[in-house]
Amino acid sequence: MSSSRDTKKPTADYSSQKKGRKCLMCSEEFQSTHYGERVCANCKGTAAWREGQAA
């Protein structure tokens, strides 16, 4: 076992701000750009979200 050549492992150390989150609307994982981001862009574009009917 000597494979120190092709060990490309994505280190979980990239931008602690950007992280996968679960949308409160569709429960789908999305990349939240900031702290207050709880809904994916997809749901944000919906009229329901605009009206503020989120739970």
Binding site for Zn ion (CB under 5 A): 23, 25-26, 40, 43
Residue number, 17 or 41, with CB nearest to Zn ion:
41
Degrees, nearest 5: CA angle 41-42-46: 110
C-alpha 25/C-alpha 20 separation (Å) is 15
Minimum distance from residue 29 beta carbon to Zn ion (Å): 9
Tokens of 11: 């280190």
Residue number, 5 or 50, with CB nearest to Zn ion:
50
Tokens of 18: 């950007």
Minimum distance from residue 28 beta carbon to Zn ion (Å): 5
